[in-house]
Amino acid sequence: MLSNYFVDMHIHIGRDIDNKPVKITGAKSLTLTNILKESSRNKGMGMIGVIDCHAPAVQREITTLIQSGRAWELNDGGVQFEEVTLLLGSEIEVYDSTCQGPIHVLCFLPNLKRMEEFTMWLSDRMTNISLSSQRYYGTGKELQYKVKELEGIFIPAHVFTPFKSLYGKGVKTSLTEILEPDLVDGIELGLSSDTEMADQLAELHSYTFLTNSDAHSLAKIAREYQVVKMENPSFKEFLWALHNIKGREITANYGMNPALGKYHLTICNECEQQTPANSVYCSHCGSKKIIKGVADRIRELSNDKLNKQVRPPYNYQVPLEYIPSLGKKTYDKLLGKFGNEMNVIHKASKKEMEEIVQGKIAKSIIQMREGKLGIQAGGGGKYGKIITDKP
């Protein structure tokens, strides 16, 4: 029997089991065990992808959890911890002769043994295997071949962000210039784009789109996610869902309005004012430090070929922490009443929420659920803001 599960496939680790940094910019509290607890108990995730599992110390922590009986490997791939399934992933930076600039990709392996083999292979092609998102010395296609040899999943990450992405800052305009298209299992959109924007590129029409958090702190887990229809949350079922096999599929994407992304608009990095995308110099201060926004970059790459494939609905949503006036005490009250964030965001009625929180907060959550919150667009590395009505 197929069921729907909430899934976030891009979560970083801040510190490993030895309290050493993995993702330098990640929060110290962002350990593997804390991620699993937060995802299972507070966020309501059915499946998560942790993309720093190539680090040996992270693998030791997984082994420790398994040996203690707190987690176990599934026959169809993945590691079960309480109510959430962990898929073992790795975010890797590719920069070979075919790339104008570095691109990030996500690689997922079915089990710990395969990830350990991947780590051994990467160790000869990476300066520091213990850190996140490290430069890989080889071609993108060679990396794809290895991932597939290990029965893995390959997904280009946050493909439109200006830095370190497939369609970002460089002059390359096609996936086929860098990667083997038949070995790509899905496309991660990133915070500054949505389905409608991405479908302006004809070469992406055949791929499943993913919306993930790219979380650098526990609070950011599930700021973007998808609902995936599977028989159970496992590696095999997720792979089948990416390719729409036997009824497995992504049924909905949930993500922030692209205007809230920190690279949505074209912004001058000097004076922080919006400026025309094709300008060499800022129209306000004359600086050349212009960061082209995702919306303008997609317009450059778009073509007239229409996508006949019916996409899952893309629902604009923000995490509870984005709601103005919703502090930790209020957050704890909501989770105490409704169990986890997914229940608050998707199920709790306005009347039920008003029994324990201010009417303005309850109203904002309902507006968020319905995609009606006002926003102020972001750009140049600064996120947009939520604008709420008065109660």
d(CA 137, CA 291): 27
| Per-residue pLDDT tens listing for the chain (391 residues) | 999 999 999 999 999 999 999 999 999 999 999 999 999 999 999 999 999 999 999 999 999 999 999 999 999 999 999 999 999 999 999 987 777 678 999 999 999 999 999 999 999 999 999 999 999 999 999 999 999 999 999 999 999 888 888 988 655 578 998 999 999 999 999 888 899 999 999 999 999 999 999 999 999 999 999 999 999 999 999 999 999 999 999 999 999 888 777 777 787 777 877 787 677 778 788 777 778 788 888 888 888 677 777 899 999 988 888 887 889 999 999 999 999 999 999 999 999 999 999 989 999 899 888 878 777 777 777 777 777 654 4
* Residue 267: per-residue pLDDT: 79
* Residue 390: per-residue pLDDT: 45
* Residue 181: per-residue pLDDT: 97
* Residue 391: per-residue pLDDT: 44
* Residue 170: per-residue pLDDT: 58
Is the pTM value of this prediction over 0.85? yes
* Residue 362: per-residue pLDDT: 92
Question: What b/e string do you get for 95-124 counting C-beta neighbours within 10 Å, with b at 16 or more?
Answer: bbeebeebbbbbbbbbbbebbbebbebbee
